[in-house]
Structures are given as C-alpha cells and as structure tokens.
Amino acid sequence: MSSEQPTPSGAASAVSRATPGPAPATPGTVRPGGRTAKVRAAVLEATQDALAEQGFHALNMDRVAAAAGVGKTTVYRRWGSSIGLITDLLHDMAEQSLPAADTGSLEGDLRANALLVLKTLTDPRMGPVFQAVIGSAACDEECAAALNGFYTTRLREWAPAVERAVARGEIPAGTDATEVLRAVSAPLYYRFAISREPLTPADAERAVAVALAGARAGAFHG
C-alpha cells in the first residue's frame, strides 16, 4: 500500500487523457529491472506524494516527472495519463502490502486485519492517498478496475486466516472467507469514505466482534 505536490495546468489538469507519442503498455503489466525499476519507483513515489498532498484532481504528470527527476516524455510514454499513474500505484501497493497475520485464532487474525486497515486509513500520508484513489475510481473505470484488483489481492492474501479457522472448527464449514473479511473492513471504509467520521480502535474492535459473531453463527455460509 508519499506526499505530492502538483497543480493542474488549466482544464486539462489531472484527468487529461491526451497521450503524446505511442500508446503506453498497460501500467504494472511488466516487472522492470535495473534503471527502469528505479524510474518506476521514483515516479510512483512522486505520484503518492502528489496524491497525499493535493489529491486526485491536482495530479499533474509534468510535476510528477519533475519531482521524480525523470523526463516528462518518459512518464507520458510509459503511463500515458494521470489515471495510468494511479493504476500502476495501486498495482505496486498490492505487491508491497504486508503479509496476512497468523495469530492462531480467527479473532486474533481478524483483529490484526482490522488494525492494519485502521492504521492505513488513519495514517497522515496513506489516508489522503486512499481518499484520492477512491475518488478517482468513482469517475474512471480503469482506476476502478485497478482498485478492485488491489482489494481482490488483499482479500486473497487474508482468506487463509478464515480457512484455518474452519479447519480448527471455530466456524462452520462452507464459510465464505472473503465475505468475513469484507465484514471486518466495510464499516471502517464506510466511516472513512462515506460518512467521513473519525476512525478509532473501538471501531475496529466493533467490526471484528460483529464479523466474528456472524461467522460463528453461519451468516457467511457460501
């Protein structure tokens, strides 16, 4: 799963789809090495900085290139648009996310998951980044698909926690692991992105308690 600093150039600003030169490869589909990897890392860091500081609508590719110390032609050729930058950033965040916990109990694993979500969403840097990418996903299908891919990856990473709980007899066989995990994070994302209420550890604990009770009662049977 940095801070940014762009301002839009007139009406064409952040969401401009003009792509000089040849069409770029789909961002994130190639794992670069050497200098190419360093360029990608610098550009994505600058993108994250820009999103954290000023949000999606201020994301400007020329300013990202300058902040990353990379030629803007390179940035346009490889990422194509600000949406391309956000899409690749989401791919990278999914790849770099912490592995799932294994505490020995479903309650412990769900608590670890909830606290990780809480920590991310309340982080002074990552909270604004997630606000920005959620906002961009609301108005762009490509970004929405990338955000879906990010969460699909994370759900897949954490699903074994629920599967282990089934094997231990903590919850009924046939429990849908992804639905249990969604039940943990959904109330936190609702407060974060919809009602815009402060998030606290008590909110995380409540989400865990509700998801755990539902799982034990068979509410998430597939």
Report the alpha-carbon distance of residue 54 to residue 121 in Å, rounded.
17
pLDDT digits (tens, 9 = 90+) for 167-192: 999 999 999 999 999 999 999 999 99
Q: Structure pTM?
A: 0.78
Helix (H), strand (E) counts: the chain? 9, 0
Report the alpha-carbon distance of residue 100 to residue 97 in Å, rounded.
9
pLDDT, the chain, mean: 85
Confidence band of 23 (pLDDT split at 50, 70, 90): very low
Confidence band of 115 (pLDDT split at 50, 70, 90): very high
| Model confidence at 1: pLDDT above 80 | no
Whole-number pLDDT of residue 99: 84
User: Three-state SS for 175?
Assistant: strand
| Model confidence at 20: pLDDT above 60 | no
pLDDT digits (tens, 9 = 90+) for 25-68: 444 444 445 778 899 999 999 999 999 998 888 889 999 999 99
Whole-number pLDDT of residue 33: 55
Are the CB atoms for 75 and 145 separated by under 8 Å?
Answer: no
Q: Kindly report which listed range (107-116, 125-134, 169-178, 203-212) carries the lowest average pLDDT score.
A: 125-134
N-term to C-term CA, the chain: 29
